[in-house]
A = this chain, B = another copy of it.
C-alpha cells in the first residue's frame, strides 16, 4: 500500500531513506535550537546537510512533516540524554535529582547548538494552531507530567513531605529554575546561571524535606 510504516527492517530503499532522514534531522535539530522552529528553512538545511532542496522536501513530504519529524527527533535526543539515564536511579527523589542534574548538564554541554531544544521550540509555537503546535504541546505536557510524577513518587515514598499544592509548586519551580538558567546562560554566554539554578533546586528540595545526602549530585 501507499503507507507501510510497519514494514520489516529489510528494505534497502527505505533503509537508505531512513539513513538520510536521520542525517538530515541531526542537522535540523541543531538548526532549530538556534533559529527556532519556523526559522528552519529547507534551503539552509539542504546547504548544511549536503542534500538537495527537493530531496529533503520529498523525504518529509512537506515542511510541516519536516517540523514534526524534527520535534520527534529532538524529543528522542532529550530522552536519551536527560530522561533515560535518570531511570537508572530509584523512582522518586533519587530519580528527580538525577533528572535535574542531567537537565542542567544537558543545557550546559550544549547538546544542541542553541541550548535547550524545547526552550527554542516552545517559544516560537506558543501561538499559531496546527499539528506542530500540538506536537510541541504534547512533548511539554509529557515532560512536565514526568517531573510531577517523580515529585509525587518522592512524597509517596516518604522522601519528601508535601501536600498536593506543594507538589504542584515544586514541580513548577524546578523546571522554572532550569529554563531561567538556560536562557540567561545563552544571553550572557556565562555558566554561572547553572550554579545559581542548582543551588535554588537544592534549597527547594531541602525545604521539602529531602535528606541532604540525596542532593549530593546537585552540588558544584
The interface stretch among A3-11, A46-54, A62-70, A177-185 is A177-185
Interface 0/1 of A184-215, CB less than 8 Å to B: 10111000010011011001000100000000
Chain B CB within 8 A of A127 CB: yes
Main secondary structure on A side of the interface with B:
helix
Query: Closest CB of chain B to A75's CB: distance in Å?
Result: 15
Contact A183 B127 (CB under 8 A): no
Chain B CB within 8 A of A172 CB: yes
Interface 0/1 of A21-45, CB less than 8 Å to B: 0000000000000111011000000
The interface stretch among A77-85, A89-97, A113-121 is A113-121
Q: Which residues of B contact A177 (CB under 8 A)?
A: 172-173, 176
Known: A183-B122, A187-B137. A34 touches B127 (CB 8 A): yes
**What residue in chain B is nearest A197 (Cβ atoms)?**
B172
Which A residues between 111 and 135 are near B, CB-CB below 8 angstroms?
A: 114-115, 119-120, 122-124, 126-127
Q: Which residues of B contact A219 (CB under 8 A)?
A: none
Q: A112 to B106, alpha carbons, bound, how many Å?
A: 32
5 A–B contacts, CB within 8 A, in A order: A115-B126, A124-B124, A172-B197, A173-B173, A176-B200
